[in-house]
Structure 1
């Protein structure tokens, strides 16, 4: 990967595994954080996968990034504008909860009512966020969704949010950019196919990608659409369908263990040799799979995160601090957790504390710098973030045992996110009206 210095380069040549980070923030309903003010602490609940198939590639690394950032924020060791300790002086006191639960709403309620957290940071799965966003509004709890990607959260489920925020861009960005990347590198796209998980994230991702391709390549045909269950793990029938139809491009928003299983099973049967494969979340598997990731795979990171992040002092600090603590480099879930916490810290500094309503007002419409660049709460009346993104093509060098992303293309936020007040699919079907890709 592109490196910041020789030390990071050495890390990349030897790294074969990774850890990630995830978060969501919530303030206790109807309060102004009296407990936090008295004790000079702010109690934050973190919800991420700590068990199950999503834990290794996503959830545990998410917790790792949260722990790193909590220690650094409390200690005032983050460079530049983040060097003052705490959330406006309030020290973060974390409570961690496993997202791998069949009682997600009850777990959320317990965090607020029993554990008396002032905030909750968490949720990776779009299914989780669909359940939690209405609950956060009903309980009047400030909730910051750090990762889950379905555009439905603010376009269909909570259309007038007060307490719910999402500090990462939603899936429309990923899939519009994926289609634009194919156009940019001159990839044949006469026929496309999709293999995506059969729930909101996979359905919305395929919808937006196929609609974007239809705008850019009007003569392109969809030859097959595969929607296996999430966490299915075995994709023999779906791989057979993809091989039978031999599309020019295969799109997948698989994440975590499902994505890794598809890569291994599909590569073994030659899918990656017959078609160009776009993995919108593929960056998390780059170091974990190494040579098992086929050359030529098109890789996204749900934003300009990980190996697609631009150089900056904050990014260099984050990568080095993460590796020093966990022995591996951060991937995009780690970046998005850090992004959420720095957004909350920025809002707290602006609000002068952690009063719930003051923090809400400060966070709405806020812009701040994360390790991967600037973030702007530009959609959903200031409750939904937009950010630029990037794609690259995977190459593995067996001689140096190192992975590289080549032909990297960056897209600015206004190019790949819908304008304020316009639903994602309407914007795509309308020909991306108002997009600024200069």
Structure 2
């Protein structure tokens, strides 16, 4: 985190733009809330990516000569703590906007606070579709590809498999429930001959992997849709390998191709799963190469997907601040509508209709290379192609 004194000391002379107000040399403060202690595998790289982008923006002169400063808070995965911290950031720290969020239930809590208090919230990671659809509001925007979008990407591949009997396993909270709902609906639409023979919803972070694997095997599926991640995924994979769950069965898995979740498995990483993820070492577009080189130089480490999300959240906010005539919340909200910016993965737009960005994801299959898991046969699925038509979105989203 860049401290207040450091940010104030480094702030350059601001340009005389009347719309921004009197305190033109003061930093623009962002309140960022995340589950750092609860989900460190993703969020420590995220914090590094955020810091890198912040340094890049400030080194280039900030926003009209004003530096950006971030005040970070750790919600420990608790929605009630996130809401309390949002209030403190807005009322005591006088932040211009809120950002962050990892777990879907936490993100929804912050979004509700933003709506009730009319404060801009740029959500980075919470994947639930409710964030932009059933509980969407004027003040909330989301960067990452949603559960619907990533499920649609995976269904495109799952529908090609000969499997007809499917089972699902997902953490028992908003994200897992949303992912299973959309995967089942979209796959059934694409393949009316499939049936779902079992569902397992273990508690987040407390999976009884042996019992879960046993229950899935008892239903004798031909394929499995997996939504577990983090330590739950590691335990599920190890028990599944030990008990032969994955033998002669295809697995389609959300997020598993992300290095933060593959790396802990090392040579136990599953092979030939169809996944969304991030093959960081293989993406050689100019935008990604520049990001990867800068990240490795700054942190002496390779980027994870969290690194991209943290970096691009800051870059999206910076693009909005350059577009907005002032730090008035309503002006910033208008600037977010249809906002376009250059992400690590290419051009991205925040859609006006639902405030969902068009950032995509990489889809491929898992393989072992040099004793660790990575992705092969991957492609970038542009998020624009994996969202429902506008009339469907209007039916899903309340007027706001």
TM range (shorter): 0.7 to 0.9
Are 2:126 and 1:148 aligned?
A: yes
Instruction: After TM superposition, give the deviation of residue 255 of structure 1 in Å.
Output: 2.4
Distance 1:60 1:424 in 2: 36
- Asked if 1 retains the 8 angstrom alpha-carbon contact of 2:31 and 2:99, the reply is yes
Q: Is the 8 A contact 2:270 2:373 kept in 1?
A: no
Which runs of structure 2 are paired with 1:327-346 in the superposition (5 Å)?
327-346=300-319
- Asked if the contact 1:246/1:274 (under 8 Å) is kept, the reply is no
Distance 1:228 1:119 in 2: 35
TM-score (structure 1 length as normaliser): 0.79
Flag the 1:416–1:41 CA change in 2: closer, same or farther, 3 A: same
Describe the SS at the equivalent of 2:54: helix
Q: Deviations over 1:174-205 (max 9, x none)?
A: 1011110223xx42221111100111110110
Aligned with 2:198: secondary structure?
A: strand
Distance 1:65 1:411 in 2: 22
1:354 and 1:89 map into 2 onto residues whose CA distance is 14
Question: What is the aligned length?
Answer: 375
Equivalence for 2:290: 317
Is the contact between residue 105 and residue 173 of structure 2 (CA under 8 Å) also seen in structure 1?
yes
5 Å-filtered alignment, 1:343-382, equals 343-351=316-324, 354-378=327-351, 381=353
What's the counterpart of residue 357 of structure 2? 385
Q: Which residue of 2 aligns with 1:40?
A: 26
Alpha-carbon contact 2:20-2:325 (below 8 Å) kept: no
Match of 1:250, SS? strand
1:5 is matched with none
> Which of residues 173, 187, 198 in structure 1 aligns to 2:149?
173
Task: Provide the secondary structure at the position in 2 that maps to 1:86.
Answer: coil
C-alpha displacement of 1:43: 0.9
Could you list the per-position Cα deviations for residues 16-53 of structure 1 after superposition, in whole angstroms to 9, with x for gaps in the alignment? xxxxxxxxxxxxxxxx8758x4333111112122213x
- 8 Å CA contact 1:298, 1:391 repeated in 2: yes
Counterpart-to-counterpart distance in 2, 1:49 and 1:360: 25
Shifted more, 362-371 versus 57-66: the winner is 57-66
TM-score, normalised relative to structure 2: 0.86
Q: Does the alignment pair 1:64 with 2:48?
A: yes
Segments of 5+ residues of structure 1 without an aligned counterpart are: 1-31, 77-84, 427-438
| Distance in structure 1 (CA, Å) of the matches to 2:391 and 2:116 | 23
Residue 167 of structure 2 is aligned to residue 197 of structure 1: no
Task: Tell me the equivalent position of 2:390.
Answer: 420
For the pair 1:50 / 2:36, whether they are aligned, the reply is yes
- For residues 206-236 of structure 1, the C-alpha deviation after alignment (integer angstroms, 9 at most, x for no partner) is 0111111111211111010111111114322
Say if 1:113 and 1:66 are closer, same or farther in 2 by CA, change over 3 A: same
Whether the aligned pair in 1 keeps the contact of 2:101 and 2:125 (CA below 8 Å) is yes
The 1:291–1:71 alpha-carbon spacing in structure 2 relative to 1, beyond 3 Å, is: same
Gap runs ≥5 in structure 2: 1-18
Cross-structure match for 1:112: 90
What is the Cα deviation at residue 246 of structure 1? 2.9
- Judge conservation of contact 2:274–2:365 (CA < 8 Å) in 1: yes
Measured in 2, the distance between the counterparts of 1:255 and 1:229 equals 12
Q: Could you tell me which residue of structure 1 aligns to residue 268 of structure 2?
A: 292
Match of 2:5 in 1: none
Secondary structure, aligned partner of 2:193: coil
Aligned Cα root-mean-square deviation (Å): 2.4
Describe the SS at the equivalent of 2:155: helix
Q: Secondary structure at the match of 2:181?
A: helix
